[in-house]
């Protein structure tokens, strides 16, 4: 089940990494020391595992967990590493099936008293969604650390090895206990609920725009300066079926055509095996236009749970305006506001809630906590 890091060889990564990084020794970098805390790495692919493929003319997620460990300098000074490969995909292809596999493995690994924490390597495109899913569904107080990179492993300026080392250091820090799932990139530690990717290419892309980082990973240690107080937990059943939830954006001139297509198309809302939840990415405080509002009310009349978020990067949704399609009218019609969750995180939360209840009152009660 577990593969000890001493079994791996750095040879297969040398053509990609050693020539550019100069970080590897022939023996690799994760010799286990039983006196050190144990950290289990779950690898899923992403840029951190990507190298240039001349035949395809671009970067492809192909490095495995043992190769990532081999490229991380000084990792054996901080923890005994075990690892496994859960997937090897770009995070644009991340999906609920892999989320559930990750959750199952994280739960199983953290139940081992010898394991101090888990590190999940992941592509940055959807990292915040996976992080929030795990934060909602993992019950252990042990740290779960999400990490990735903005530069591919075969580039001379790759940030993957340093980020992985930082993630290991955070996973073994006693201060990380009780913080839930956290994201570590660029020397910053951010809460899963609050963090978002802010740049397509800059190294320090993950930021908590409203509240700032939880802490930092410095040369002399890991330092936390605050705790995430808005964490929530949903206890999933043994074999959960996550809800299928769509996000529909509002924009100037939107007449609700996309939402109506979802309502009347080949897989209409509310039918068995079809979509069963809706997130509206509204404008401002959580508003839509009158024509879009008519389509939303049609979805609500069909019993489709609806959560309203906003396109705006920061701030809560509040029902302050009273015109048709405003936040107030949406709530009166039966929608729920997402507090300060982004549309993609509101979707994750609704997917998880639909795995345990279809009762509108229970969904609203949870969202208002």
Annotated catalytic sites, by residue?
47
| CA 319 vs CA 178, 267, 287, 331, 361: distances in Å | 33, 32, 9, 7, 18
CA distances for 110 relative to 39, 143, 352, angstroms = 10, 9, 21
Residues 196, 190: Cα–Cα separation, whole Å: 9
Nearest to 106 by CA among 77, 80, 131: 131
Question: For tokens 């049609």, what's the residue?
Answer: 298
Per-residue DSSP letters for 14-45?
TTTTHHHH----TT-S----TTSPEEEEEEEE
DSSP 76-94: GGT-EEEEEEEEEE-GGG-
Q: In whole angstroms, how large is the CA radius of gyration of the chain? A: 22
Q: How do strand 3-4 and strand 80-89 relate by DSSP bridges? A: antiparallel
Is there a contact between 151 and 159 (Cβ–Cβ < 8 Å)? yes
Q: Is-contact 80 34, C-beta < 8 A?
A: yes
Rounded Cα distance, 53 and 206, in Å: 27
Q: Which two tokens stand for residue 42?
A: 């779950």
């Amino acid at each position: 089940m577990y593969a000890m890091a001493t079994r791996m060889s750095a040879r297969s990564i040398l053509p990609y990494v050693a020539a550019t990084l100069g970080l590897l020794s022939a023996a690799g970098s994760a010799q286990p020391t039983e006196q050190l805390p144990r950290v289990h790495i779950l690898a899923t692919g992403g840029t951190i595992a990507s190298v240039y493929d001349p035949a395809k003319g671009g970067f492809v997620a192909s490095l495995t967990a043992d190769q990532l460990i081999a490229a991380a300098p000084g990792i054996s000074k901080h923890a005994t590493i075990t690892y496994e490969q859960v997937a090897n995909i770009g995070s644009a292809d991340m999906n609920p099936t892999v989320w559930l596999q990750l959750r199952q493995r994280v739960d199983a690994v953290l139940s081992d008293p010898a394991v101090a924490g888990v590190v999940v390597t992941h592509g940055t495109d959807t990292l915040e969604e996976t992080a929030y899913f795990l934060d909602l569904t993992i019950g252990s107080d042990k740290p779960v650390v999400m990490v990735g990179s903005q530069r591919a492993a075969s580039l001379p300026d790759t940030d993957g090895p340093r980020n992985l080392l930082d993630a290991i250091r955070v996973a073994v820090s006693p201060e990380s206990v009780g913080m839930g799932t956290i994201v570590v990139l660029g020397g910053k530690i951010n809460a899963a609920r609050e963090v978002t990717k802010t740049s397509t290419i800059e190294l320090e892309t993950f930021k908590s725009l409203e509240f700032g980082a939880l802490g930092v990973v410095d040369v002399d240690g890991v330092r936390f300066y605050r705790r995430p107080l808005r964490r929530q937990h949903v206890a999933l059943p043994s074999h959960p079926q996550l809800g299928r939830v769509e996000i529909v954006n509002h924009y100037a001139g939107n007449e609700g055509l996309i939402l109506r297509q979802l309502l009347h198309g080949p897989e209409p809302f509310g039918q068995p095996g079809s979509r069963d939840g809706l997130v509206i990415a509204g404008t401002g405080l959580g508003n839509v236009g009158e024509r879009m509002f008519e389509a939303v009310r049609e979805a609500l009349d069909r019993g489709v749970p609806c959560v309203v978020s906003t396109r705006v990067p920061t701030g809560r949704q509040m029902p302050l305006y009273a015109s048709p399609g405003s936040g107030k009218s949406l709530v009166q019609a039966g929608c729920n506001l997402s507090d300060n969750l982004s549309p993609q995180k509101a979707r994750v939360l609704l997917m998880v809630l639909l795995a345990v209840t279809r009762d509108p009152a229970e969904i609203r009660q949870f969202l208002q906590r």
